[in-house]
Amino acid sequence: MELKCVVAIVRLDVVEGLERKLGAIHIHGVTVTRVRGFGVHPNYFADDWTTEHIKIEIFAEAENVDALVKTILEIAHVGGAGDGVVAVIPVEKFFRVRSQAEAIP
């Protein structure tokens, strides 16, 4: 079974709705982290060019990735600069710390 890691950087205000929707499509594991950074549109007029966003990381089976990405894009899109980004990264190996063995989620 092939595994992928979906990483999304989204605005703070979409996280609650996104978490609800991910539960509805049976995504059972997600890591959510507050991050700071800037992309294509930094605020050059501010002392600090960075803005606060949320980084979401989800390990998913390859066959579920398209639906997962579509869901994130639908919820996070408002049509403005700073909506965020989504990346799909291959996972070479996956281990469970508890059993110290390679595992499939």
Count of structural domains, the chain: 1
* Helix, strand, or coil (residue 8): strand
> Is the per-residue pLDDT at 7 higher than 90?
yes
User: What is the token pair recorded at 32?
Assistant: 């959510």
CATH number at residue 46: 3.30.70.120
Domain extent for 13: 3-102
**What is residue 46's predicted lDDT score, i.e. its pLDDT?**
78
**What is residue 104's predicted lDDT score, i.e. its pLDDT?**
65
**What residue spans of 3-93 are helical by DSSP H?**
15-24, 65-76
List Cα–Cα distances, 37 to 53, 79, 84, in angstroms.
8, 19, 11
Quote the pTM value: 0.85
**What is residue 79's predicted lDDT score, i.e. its pLDDT?**
83
> Is the per-residue pLDDT at 38 higher than 60?
yes
